[in-house]
Amino acid sequence: MSIFTSKHILLCVTGSIAAYKAADLASKLTQAGALVDVILTPAAEKFVTPLTFQSVTGRKAFTDADLWGGEAHVLHVGLGQAADLLAVAPATASTIAKLAHGIADNLVTIAALAARCPTLIAPAMDVGMFEHPATQENVHTLCGRGVYFAGPDEGRMASGLVGRGRFVEPAELLGHIRLTLGFGGKLAGKKIVVTAGGTQEPLDPVRVLTNKSSGRQGYAIAQAALDAGGTVVLVAAPTALIPPVGARLVPVRTAEEMKEAVLAESAGAEALVMAAAVADFRPKKTAADKLKKRAGIPPVDLEAAPDVLLSVKGMKSNRPRVVVGFAAESRDLLENAAAKLKSKTLDLIAANDISAPDAGFSVDTNRVSLLFANGDRESLPLMSKAEVAEVIIDRLSGLLEKN
């Protein structure tokens, strides 16, 4: 189940040229499982119609005509109180000013004042309007009240001006909304370090020894930890993936860099989840110049790469309270995973059989067995990597409660 499932999002659309992008956001939220109620200000109605939103959400979109229509009893209070999150997207300078000062003169601003849920604001305006001291003071006031701001981004605006004021793109805004929905979850206030991707060990300036890890399982774990409210650091070897909104990315390339970053980041962290595929071997020497074909096939001598989990085991102090590892095996899965659990003093290991075509590297699904330090075992059915990640984060939270 995704964090969006059955969540009530009150999407308030105001009179910005970016209002058309809110329809895409409403659609994305609905597809993710949220129940999206939309309110348009009178100015927003000049840009987009309620019908657009009704068509993508399957729910009624409200305007000021409904405020004075008297069909629903005290509509603004009902909408505000039903919401898990109120998102003003796009938010004009005018509406931001009204929210900062408690002005309630249309259905959006009245509902915002009546709501008791977290508020997210995604501003959209010209750079001059955003940088104006009046707007800056209003933003400051709202931030001080715990309102979460997504953007604005830098870039080119409809006016042709370039600067800060662009509406955050809907796909990224979805990540910000997801992040705010997770606030206060069971990992709130807890630092969780997650590693992902396959390390690259250089042979020369252009060639590397690497593996088939796509990073998807590690990124899904980072997302699940964010959904649970965790403060997430994602130590990632190169991947083609976009980091989840809210995760602090620490990019690394080699096993050595991964080790250094993990030791630095996991000191004092609550938990470390090592989902990265770290090289076991690396070329003994890295050629300073590109190896030339005409020089013939070069001999490649290998040496052991640093063992990140053993380095974590050897930490003198501030070791993470819970350490979770992964074992990707092509044979004797459970025996190998159990041996790794013990030798690296892990609290939990997720064992996945990479010989199966629907599990392991580069696919969206995984079939994982969980082995706990106390001897408990749990075999999970074939699941999406996002679902596997949710289970691992749930079990990790349980271990943090016990430890």
* Residues belonging to the active site: 211
Q: What is the DSSP letter of 180?
A: H
Judged by CB under 6 A, does residue 44 bind ligand FMN? yes
Binding ligand FMN by CB under 6 A: which of 4, 7, 10, 16? Answer: 16
Residues 6+ positions from 86 with CB-CB distance below 8 Å: 10, 12, 80, 111, 112, 115, 117, 118, 119, 120
Nearer to ligand FMN, 17 or 249 (CB): 17
Q: Give min distance, CB of 179 to ligand FMN, in A.
A: 24
Binding ligand FMN by CB under 6 A: which of 30, 52, 95, 254? Answer: 95
Long-range pairs of 253-256 with CB within 8 A, sequence gap ≥ 24:
253/199, 253/200, 253/202, 254/199, 254/200, 254/201, 254/202, 254/279, 254/282, 254/305, 255/199, 255/201, 255/279, 255/282, 255/305, 255/306, 255/308, 256/305, 256/306
| Residue 26 φ/ψ, nearest 5 degrees | -60, -40
| CB contact at 8 A, 89 and 96 | no
Site for ligand FMN in 115-134 (CB under 6 A): 124-125, 129
Binding ligand FMN by CB under 6 A: which of 2, 24, 32, 43? Answer: 43
Burial 175-214 (b: 16+ CB within 10 A, else e): bbbbbbbbeebbbeebbbbbbbbbbbbbbbeebbbbbebb
Residue type, 44: A
Binding ligand FMN by CB under 6 A: which of 3, 4, 9, 15? Answer: 15
Judged by CB under 6 A, does residue 17 bind ligand FMN? yes
Site for ligand FMN in 129-168 (CB under 6 A): 129
Q: How far apart are CA 104 and CA 309, in angstroms?
A: 56
| CB contact at 8 A, 371 and 338 | yes
Single out the segment in contact with ligand FMN by CB under 6 A; choices: 21-29, 40-48, 179-187, 257-265.
Answer: 40-48
Q: Give min distance, CB of 49 to ligand FMN, in A.
A: 14
Judged by CB under 6 A, does residue 67 bind ligand FMN? no
Q: Give min distance, CB of 39 to ligand FMN, in A.
A: 11
Site string for ligand FMN, 163-192 (x = CB under 6 A): ------------------------------
Site string for ligand FMN, 18-37 (x = CB under 6 A): x-------------------
Binding ligand FMN by CB under 6 A: which of 57, 94, 213, 223? Answer: 94
Half-sphere exposure of 91 (CA within 13 A, CB side): 32
Q: Give min distance, CB of 375 to ligand FMN, in A.
A: 60
**What SS3 state is found at 370?**
strand
Tokens read off for 372: 């706990």
Judged by CB under 6 A, does residue 14 bind ligand FMN? yes
Question: Applying CB under 6 A, what is the total number of residues that bind ligand FMN?
Answer: 16
User: In whole angstroms, how far apart are CA 186 and each of 50, 227, 231, 348?
Assistant: 37, 9, 11, 19
Nearer to ligand FMN, 123 or 244 (CB): 123
Other Cβ atoms closer than 10 A to 272: 28
Nearer to ligand FMN, 25 or 368 (CB): 25
Nearer to ligand FMN, 40 or 275 (CB): 40
β pairing state of 377-379 and 61-62: unpaired
Site string for ligand FMN, 301-320 (x = CB under 6 A): --------------------
Give residues in contact with ligand FMN (CB under 6 A).
14-18, 41, 43-44, 92-95, 106, 124-125, 129
